[in-house]
Structure 1
Amino acid sequence: MRHTLPIAPQFYVTAPQPCPYLEDRMERKLFTALQGEGADRLNDALSRQGFRRSQNVLYRPSCADCAACLSARVNVSSFRPNKSQRKTLRRNSGLERRATSPWATDEQYELFRRYLDERHADGGMADMDVFEFAAMIEETPIRSRVIEYIDGNSGALTAVSLTDVLEDGLSMVYSFYSPDRQQDSLGTYMILDHVEIAREAGLPYVYLGYWVPGSSKMGYKARFSGLEIYYKGAWRSVHNPEAYTDVARHPLSTDPIAEQVANISLPDRRPTRGQSGV
């Protein structure tokens, strides 16, 4: 009788390149391929350890002299909207949510291009064409959704989030929105709405990607109550965001690559999990 042995994921490290969040810093990522019949389980396991998905790759910052990028999530049961967030909910009450399969459309790409040109013209995605955009949306080996937000009056596509459905929550992989409505805080609104989607589905967390203390681009994530970060191998509640501004930038805060890989917990080969109602 022939037995098939499980193949453990192989981890690699990218070459250093300029950090997009902190000046005079170089970033480096630890990554592995996300593929095969165990993709869902691997994504679930590594997301709980601070990894993020980009198409068929899972990655986590692994910079040589800095650990300022902290994986962040909102604990749904602990979240309470503040006064400003309640105003954001009311301001966007005319938006209609529509969840679809991960399929790219011309309307999405047009909104994506306007968003990049206005907000991130010098970013890493600035030259992304329609085919690359379609790959970002559609090349997913796991359960994903495109959450669209439609203006109830005009019918215009106003905001979009590519969202993965994890065993313990929703992961907002990438979001973009109309740059003409900056006063409506659409980025914040989408997070608030995802918290509600997770609550309705009985999922405990909404994963937000990386929070970088001290970075103006990422500071908004610290405004959500119930925020937790993955720090030194465990999820920790954030009660004082300013406490993390300097501690994670020490040159000795990052473990050697071999030690990082050795400490990653990989999933077992149990049967594929059941699906939630998202």
Structure 2
Amino acid sequence: MEAQLATFEAKKRKNNPDLEKYIKIGSRYFYIENMNKMSWFAAHRVCREIGGKLATIKDEEELEQIDRLLDFRTGYWLGLNDLVFEGLFQSWPPKALAWIEDHFTNFPNGASDYGHKTDCVVLSGMWNKSETRVNVFEKRLQNMEAKLAAFEASKRKPKPDLKKFIKIGSRYFHIEEMHKLNWYAAFKACREIGGRLAIIQNEEELNKINDRVEWLTNYWLGINSLIEAGRYKTWPYGEKQRPFIKWLRGTFRDHDYGRKCLVLLESKMLDRECDEYRPFICEAVIKE
């Protein structure tokens, strides 16, 4: 079972961390959670709630100092993953130009690529290694009640360039046909143009959008069950109300423990593996 290891760089944080919850290791402050086990996505949220972020370790010296305080039998979530691009480990949420970042890792030979889709990184005993998100979730977290993860995305998003959007009903959408991405990369692409993956509000809006998309094509939307299998929410946007979903007949299986992301197909919705490459729909985030 994995627990999360949280850290922050105080000068970059917008929310002030409660330092009473942290311990100083070297020149930085860390929070080591041993009691509560959760998914990587839920750990991401918990760290933000205490004014931090999942840790990215800066060098070998810091790794050794942290390692002395850990239970060697336990794996601790870190902030790196290759959710957006397989084999390229970066922090979440992804940033523009993130591919030029140089993050410290200390993988055993071959451990950074098991060939199992996308990975999130854990610190385990003496080594920093990646484990597949699918295996960790399905084997260890099926029965866990994880809370909805959210972050204050509006504070970090650029204003939408409405030239890249079209008005459908009362809102603005960008329908990406040319570039097919996995769900995580589509999430990033929408953020970079001042939007987010679309969350359709009602059947009227659904029908209007459907009139604009290609026939027999699956488009990523902003709804998923990444936090808890079988429960579809708007992670990481944080809306409290249940999202509008119009399932394609026979496709929803509440007993399916896989963690999936929703697509739009012919005015209906169905779930797909989030690692698949598909076109996507963004909505503009406009604050009054």
TM-score w.r.t. the length of structure 1 is 0.30
Q: Which has the higher contact order (CA 8 A, sep 6+)?
A: 1
TM-score by length of 2: 0.29
More helix by share: 1
